[in-house]
Amino acid sequence: MVNHYPPWKNILLILVILIGVIYAAPNLYGEDPAVQISHRVNLVDERELNYISDLLRREGVIYRSIELEASNILIRFDSEEQQLKAVTQIREILEKVDKRYGVALNLAPATPDWLTSLNALPMHLGLDLRGGVHFLMEVDLESAIEKSLNRSADEFRAFMRGEKIRYKAVQINGQMIKVRFADAQMRDAAKLELENEYRDYKFAESNDGRSWYVDITFLPEVLDNEKKTAIEQNISTLKNRVNELGVAEPVIQRQGDERVVVQLPGVQDTVRAKEILGATATLEFRLVHGSFTDWSAAQASGRAPIGARMYQRSDGSPVLLKRSVIVTGDQIEGAASGIDTRTGTPSVTITMNAKGADRMSKITRDNIGKPMAVVFIEDKFEYREVNGQKRRFKTTETQVINVATIRDQLSKRFEITGLDSTREARDLALLLRAGALSAPMLIVEERTVGPSLGQENIDKGFKSVVIGFIMVLIFMAVYYRVFGLVANMALTLNLVLMLAVLSLLQATLTLPGIAGIVLTVGMAVDANVLIFERIREEIRLGNTPQASIYAGYEKAFGTITDANITTLIAAVILFAFGTGPIQGFAVTLSIGIVTSMFTAIFGTRAVINLIYGRRSVEKLAI
């Protein structure tokens, strides 16, 4: 019989419906008010979960459940009132234990365990639907250039010492490095050597009557590249930092020449979000100066020897490090903890970029057997009122997080050993992986979208989908009768499949995305309208009902495919060239086109075959 599917096609349709229902279902369960606990340095594990849960229980904090999720602790509550009351208690409790804990308000999916075990998760909601925080951050490019100049000055000093070039001093003056010499002859010889070795700089001569200088500045294209690299590095680091801390689904994009937009949907606490994003931490590798005796003497006298600086470890003990920096954290590409195969002790394997690898290789080649330190540096900005005006002040906190002995010449990949435990190795790898900001960032604009406004957007969007859906259902049922009811079933399945695909892709749904769904609801019946009108035409031409059904589906297929492919091409172009909201619209539209073709052609025909395919029919209800 022509209007009959083989069993495998019916089984395939049933499987698709079943999978669609399972993966769309998590979106029905909503979200629980939650508090998320993370640590700025350490990975949170099962042991820490048990410790904190016992601590909160002893302090009388009321909550529904506590669990470990993506290396963070998630505490769920029955109401927002409980959540807001508990978050203050939790912060006070944890600050007494360790000030590096981060406590943030959040919304956690309430999906049942049996669905999450199948990896069935709800789709993410964008800032306009879920609520959250929006920051516009400005990169301090002057600090980035200053850091590059300091690095370059260290390189020039090392090069001139290696080439036995006698110089008086290397100083940084604005965006220029000035190398001072005793006479013009020395200066000219040094300038020639430097020009031959370094191609990214412009070299000029000057003097003040007493000293002779080589003035070194970046070439314009190199300076632009340094600024571009600083912003790109900061964006990458912000993404890593937010991902490592497990804070919502971030949107981090460049805006203009010096600014970055950061959106954190679902985060209700702007203060904690600013702490996460505003921590302008970096890392430096430096050689250790002297021994423990020298460190203690320097601490007692309050003065560091020439060429050295005083630092402190996490336990407060002193350590002297050389002033020149080997490499900084923005030159690290990756880090992973493990076990040193030679000694069986914990280690961290680090991967440097090309520039950092070359510098590390040269320094460690000449310092095998000597200790090297990893320094954690954090710049913090705060506003103070001075003479009635708000002024920005920067404070810098430094801490030595590791001291290890250089055993071999290091290059692109090397190991840090001498760690006390696998936990310390894992924590250090996490810190290095999260990366360092190339330059400090200042929040210049801050907006909060409250959960109530997000809920209002969801309600209005849901209402628009429901109204459009119901009107289409009524029209199809009245105008095409039984066939219209079948089309309505397909339209319902189409919505379910759209939600399932969005959830499987873990896409972020925004208001424009809802607009794409509403548009798809209207367009989804187009294919059925074409098919049903073709069936009517075949009946008017005198064909039998069975032949009319077959001809309607077969002859309308080409037209339906052409129409949907052209719309799909437009959606793909929107996604490729659009940003943010436009991409959200394009994604839902593209998914809707594909699912509507499947349900309108394959799905409705399966039902029509089931109704009419196995019996003799004289008249069709169409």
What is the full DSSP assignment across 565-582?
A: HHHHHHHHHHHHH--THH
DSSP 8-state assignment for residue 603: I
Q: For the stretch 426-451, what's the b/e string if a residue is b when 16 or more beta carbons lie within 10 angstroms of its beta carbon?
A: bbbbbbbbbbbbbbbbebeeeebbeb
214 and 302 in a single domain? The answer is: no
Q: What is the mean pLDDT of residues 443-465?
A: 74
581 part of a folded domain: yes
Q: In this structure, are residues 549 and 620 in contact, taking their beta carbons and an 8 Å threshold?
A: yes
- Distance of alpha carbon 90 from alpha carbon 106, whole angstroms: 14
Residue 24, pLDDT above cutoff 90: yes
622 part of a folded domain: no
- Tell me the pLDDT tens digit for each residue of 149-163: 888 888 888 888 888
| Of the residues 221, 249, 267, the one at which a domain ends | 221
38 and 98 in a single domain? The answer is: yes
Q: Confidence class of residue 230 from pLDDT cuts 50, 70 and 90?
A: confident
Q: For the stretch 351-361, what's the b/e string if a residue is b when 16 or more beta carbons lie within 10 angstroms of its beta carbon?
A: ebeeebbebbe
Q: What is the mean pLDDT of residues 357-365?
A: 87
Short-list 375, 426, 350, CA closest to 44: 426
Residue 272, pLDDT above cutoff 60: no
Comparing 423 with 55, the larger pLDDT belongs to 55
Q: What is the mean pLDDT of residues 477-506?
A: 90
Take residue 97 and report the two structure tokens written for it: 């234990």
| Of the residues 221, 250, 268, the one at which a domain ends | 221
Q: pLDDT at position 591, please?
A: 92
Q: What is the mean pLDDT of residues 287-307?
A: 84
392 and 469 in a single domain? The answer is: no
Q: Name the pairing type of β-strands 65-69 and 441-449.
A: unpaired
Amino acid at 552: G
Residue 270, pLDDT above cutoff 80: no
Q: pLDDT at position 543, please?
A: 86
Start-to-end Cα distance in the chain? 21
| Of the residues 407, 427, 443, the one at which a domain ends | 443
Structural domain harbouring 171: 142-221
332 and 458 in a single domain? The answer is: no
319 part of a folded domain: yes
482 and 377 in a single domain? The answer is: no
283 and 429 in a single domain? The answer is: yes
Least confident range of 226-235, 340-349, 383-392, 543-552? 383-392
Q: Name the pairing type of β-strands 124-125 and 508-509.
A: parallel
Q: In this structure, are residues 243 and 223 in contact, taking their beta carbons and an 8 Å threshold?
A: no
418 and 514 in a single domain? The answer is: no
83 part of a folded domain: yes
- Distance of alpha carbon 298 from alpha carbon 321, whole angstroms: 12
Short-list 207, 213, 198, 89, CA closest to 149: 198
Q: Is 16 helix (H, G, I), strand (E, B) or coil?
A: helix
State how many domains the chain has.
4
What percentage of the chain reaches a pLDDT higher than 70?
87
How many helices (H) and strands (E) would you count in the chain?
18, 22
CATH classification of the domain holding 309:
3.30.1360.200
- Tell me the pLDDT tens digit for each residue of 386-442: 777 766 666 777 878 778 888 778 778 877 766 667 766 766 666 666 555 667 777
DSSP 8-state assignment for residue 364: H
Complete edge-to-edge strand list for the sheet that includes strand 318-328: 308-312, 318-328, 280-288, 371-386, 389-405
415 part of a folded domain: yes
Q: Confidence class of residue 247 from pLDDT cuts 50, 70 and 90?
A: low
- Tell me the pLDDT tens digit for each residue of 216-227: 998 888 888 888
Least confident range of 21-30, 345-354, 565-574? 345-354
What are residue 413's phi and psi, to 5 degrees?
A: -120, 130
427 and 466 in a single domain? The answer is: no
Least confident range of 22-36, 212-226, 420-434, 478-492? 420-434
> Exposed/middle/buried for 475, CB within 10 Å: 0-12, 13-18, 19+?
middle
- Distance of alpha carbon 295 from alpha carbon 299, whole angstroms: 6
Q: What is the mean pLDDT of residues 169-196?
A: 89
Q: In this structure, are residues 490 and 604 in contact, taking their beta carbons and an 8 Å threshold?
A: yes
Q: pLDDT at position 496, please?
A: 92
Q: pLDDT at position 26, please?
A: 92
Integer angstrom CA distances of residue 575 from 133, 264, 597? 24, 22, 20
Q: Does the predicted model carry a pTM greater than 0.75? A: no
- Distance of alpha carbon 190 from alpha carbon 50, whole angstroms: 63
Q: pLDDT at position 99, please?
A: 66
Distance of CA 527 to the CA centre of its chain: 39
Phi/psi region, residue 132 (left: phi>0; alpha: psi -120 to 50; beta: rest), is left
CA–CA–CA angle 575, 581, 583 (5° rounding):
10
Mean pLDDT of the chain: 82
Least confident range of 199-208, 291-300, 334-343? 334-343
304 part of a folded domain: yes
Integer angstrom CA distances of residue 163 from 274, 360, 605? 48, 19, 83
Q: pLDDT at position 41, please?
A: 58
Q: pLDDT at position 20, please?
A: 93
CATH classification of the domain holding 183:
3.30.1360
Q: pLDDT at position 6, please?
A: 86
370 and 387 in a single domain? The answer is: yes
Short-list 179, 232, 192, 128, CA closest to 455: 128
Q: pLDDT at position 393, please?
A: 67
Residues written for the chain: 622
CATH classification of the domain holding 585:
1.20.1640.10
Q: What is the mean pLDDT of residues 92-120?
A: 81
- Distance of alpha carbon 249 from alpha carbon 133, whole angstroms: 12
Take residue 583 and report the two structure tokens written for it: 């991409």
11 and 157 in a single domain? The answer is: no
Q: pLDDT at position 213, please?
A: 92
- Distance of alpha carbon 262 from alpha carbon 238, whole angstroms: 9
Q: In this structure, are residues 476 and 487 in contact, taking their beta carbons and an 8 Å threshold?
A: yes
CATH classification of the domain holding 80:
3.30.70.260
Q: What is the mean pLDDT of residues 483-498?
A: 90
574 part of a folded domain: yes
Q: Confidence class of residue 279 from pLDDT cuts 50, 70 and 90?
A: low
- Distance of alpha carbon 102 from alpha carbon 123, whole angstroms: 26
- Distance of alpha carbon 150 from alpha carbon 497, whole angstroms: 57
- Tell me the pLDDT tens digit for each residue of 514-551: 888 888 877 888 888 889 899 999 888 888 888 888 88
Q: For the stretch 490-509, what's the b/e string if a residue is b when 16 or more beta carbons lie within 10 angstroms of its beta carbon?
A: bbebbbbbbbbbbbbeebbb
606 and 479 in a single domain? The answer is: yes
Q: pLDDT at position 281, please?
A: 56
Amino acid at 195: E
Q: pLDDT at position 21, please?
A: 94
Q: What is the mean pLDDT of residues 486-513?
A: 88
Q: Is 56 helix (H, G, I), strand (E, B) or coil?
A: helix
Q: In this structure, are residues 227 and 145 in contact, taking their beta carbons and an 8 Å threshold?
A: yes
203 part of a folded domain: yes
Q: pLDDT at position 584, please?
A: 81
398 and 526 in a single domain? The answer is: no
In 16-128, DSSP assigns E strands to 31-39, 65-69, 72-76, 101-109, 124-125
Handedness of CA 479, 483, 486, 490 (dihedral sign): negative
